[in-house]
């Protein structure tokens, strides 16, 4: 089978396989009540944006997401955002969410204005399009694995994506726009694979496109898991550095320059968000104060500055306790039986360690002078990629502590995916002849 056919088979087949699970949890991985509450709690800010745009214009309130007619402020009690939008009720007041540029709200509002479809159809389109993009993105990664790592690795990744609630919950949610988290890393894979094939490295082109990819992520998902995404985007550099035998100096220089380009994209995103807040508040100082305050509150900086009970507790939380929360969170179904599927992340990490050991022992005993470059690249990339989720849990420890029901998804970006790919590779490698 040609590489092109294999790629298309896993890409198209992967979309068809993942879509039912990601769209409405077809296989009932998540407890239905929890699924509905989780989805609506975060999606409601996009729905409220649609209602606000319909009444006052797409860029009213700076184009920010928010809540309509929410006298209770920010809370986890589901406000009637869907009813307000679908019934055509007026938006008497609007509470903007100032931590997210909300590009999806602007785009969906424009789509609703242009098509003039009924609100319920717009909501259906919103969920369908978000799910399709998530399935397309994850399947694209699986297809690349099928061609360059092995079909078993691709199968394991697709099965995991369909079985883990940390894919199912955000994949169809327009607020989270899961697909956007993976666009920068997939872009890096495509760019570096092409450079490897042609034996060139068009630096300016690569860095500019990575800038654009990260900027897209910021527009659609704000600064959620931002350090995780930045580290994740450098993982392909580790892989191709080993495959193409880059020097350490070359690898360091290229990762550093890519990091500068991606950081610039984040800063541009901050400037755009600041402008949105200033338009809403009528004050540049207000936007600057909000951004500085939010960064200090959510990161590990300025430990003694926030003295309210909630902020103080999260600021002073022990890092080991925070890591323990995420290591003991279940990677598979945490809501419904059978209990056997409730596997915490620490067990997956241990499993990846076992398969790494098997790979190293096999080649050390059989042929120590010639480790397969692809296997070494995958192994190194996998263990390097654990820095992606850890960067968020450490640098943004307070918000990680406050939101353990959100950020386990960081483990999938892309550490657990690469770990499963490594397991598939090692299982296949075990049955290869010694001289292969």
| 116-129 pLDDT per residue, tens | 999 999 999 999 99
Q: What value does the mean pLDDT of the chain take?
A: 91
Sole residue written with tokens 């999938």: 412
Cα 345 to Cα 71, 324, 334: the distances in Å are 39, 10, 12
Domain-located, residue 143: no
3-state secondary structure of 414: coil
Report yes or no: 20 and 26 within 8 Å, Cβ to Cβ: yes
Please tell me the total count of domains within the chain: 1
Residue 233 in domain: yes
What is the rounded average pLDDT of the residues 284-312? Answer: 78
Closest CA to 58 of 107, 2, 124: 107
Per the domain annotation, does 307 fall within a domain?
Answer: no
Q: Which of 95, 42, 131, 35 is closest to 336 using CA atoms?
A: 35
- Is 270 inside any structural domain? yes
Give residue-wise pLDDT tens across range 74-101. Answer: 665 566 899 999 999 999 999 999 999 9
pLDDT of residue 436: 38
- Which tokens is 357 given? 């050991």
What is residue 21's DSSP assignment? H
Please write the tens of the pLDDT for every residue from 1-43: 789 999 999 999 999 999 999 998 988 888 888 888 888 889 9
**How confident is the model over 135-183, as pLDDT tens digits?**
999 999 999 999 999 999 999 999 999 999 999 999 999 999 999 999 9
Quick check: is 201 in a domain? yes
Quickly state the pLDDT bin for 313 (edges 50, 70, 90). confident
Range of the domain at 190: 177-298
Q: Tell me, what's the pLDDT at 304?
A: 52
Confidence of residue 435 (pLDDT cuts 50, 70, 90): very low
Indicate the pLDDT class of residue 308, thresholds 50, 70 and 90: low
Query: DSSP of 304-373, one letter per residue?
Result: TT--SHHHHHHHT--HHHHHHHHHSSBSS-SSSS-GGG--BHHHHHHHHHHHHHHHHHHHHHH-TT---H
Which residues are paired to 96 by β-bridges?
A: 66
pLDDT tens figures, 317-370: 899 999 999 999 999 865 555 555 678 999 999 999 999 999 988 887 655 556
- Does residue 239 belong to any structural domain of this protein? yes
Q: What tens digit of pLDDT does each residue of 194-208 get?
A: 999 999 999 999 999
Residue 102: what pLDDT?
96
CB neighbour class for 230 (10 Å; exposed up to 12, middle 13-18, buried from 19)? buried
């Amino acid at each position: 089978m040609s590489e092109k056919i294999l790629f298309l088979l896993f890409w198209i087949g992967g979309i068809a396989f993942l879509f039912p699970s990601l769209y409405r949890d077809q296989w009932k991985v998540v407890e239905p009540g929890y699924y509905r509450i989780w989805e609506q709690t975060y999606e409601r800010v996009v729905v409220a944006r649609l209602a606000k745009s319909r009444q006052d214009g797409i860029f009213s309130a700076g184009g920010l997401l928010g809540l309509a007619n929410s006298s209770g402020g920010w809370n986890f009690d589901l406000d009637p955002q869907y009813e307000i939008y679908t019934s055509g009720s007026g938006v008497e007041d609007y509470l903007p969410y100032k931590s997210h540029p909300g590009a999806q709200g602007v785009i969906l509002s424009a789509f609703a204005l242009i098509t003039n479809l009924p609100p319920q159809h717009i909501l259906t389109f919103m969920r369908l399009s978000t799910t399709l993009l998530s399935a397309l993105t994850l399947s694209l990664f699986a297809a690349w694995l099928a061609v360059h790592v092995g079909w078993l690795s691709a199968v394991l990744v697709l099965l995991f994506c369909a079985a883990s609630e940390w894919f199912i919950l955000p994949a169809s949610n327009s607020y989270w726009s899961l697909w956007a988290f993976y666009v920068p890393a997939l872009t890096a894979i495509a760019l570096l694979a092409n450079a490897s094939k042609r034996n060139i490295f068009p630096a300016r082109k690569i860095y500019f496109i990575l800038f654009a990819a990260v900027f897209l992520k910021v527009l659609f998902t704000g600064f959620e898991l931002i350090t995780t995404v930045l580290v994740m985007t450098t993982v392909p550099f580790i892989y191709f550095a080993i495959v193409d035998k880059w020097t350490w100096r070359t690898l360091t220089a290229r990762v550093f320059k890519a990091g500068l380009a991606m950081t610039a994209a984040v800063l541009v995103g901050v400037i755009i968000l600041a402008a949105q807040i200033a338009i809403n508040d009528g004050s540049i100082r207000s936007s600057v104060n909000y951004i500085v305050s939010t960064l200090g509150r959510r990161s590990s900086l300025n430990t003694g500055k926030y003295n309210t009970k909630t902020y103080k507790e999260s600021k002073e939380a022990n890092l080991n306790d925070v890591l323990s929360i995420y290591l003991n969170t279940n990677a598979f179904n945490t809501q419904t039986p059978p209990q056997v599927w409730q596997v915490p992340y620490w067990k997956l990490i241990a499993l990846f360690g076992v398969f790494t050991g098997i790979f190293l022992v096999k080649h050390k005993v059989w042929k120590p002078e010639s480790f397969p470059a692809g296997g070494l690249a995958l192994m190194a990339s996998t263990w390097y990629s654990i820095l992606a989720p850890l960067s968020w849990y450490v640098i943004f420890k307070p918000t990680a502590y406050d939101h353990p029901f959100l950020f386990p998804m960081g483990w999938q970006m892309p550490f657990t995916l690469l770990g499963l790919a490594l397991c598939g590779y090692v299982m296949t490698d075990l049955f290869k002849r010694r001289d292969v």
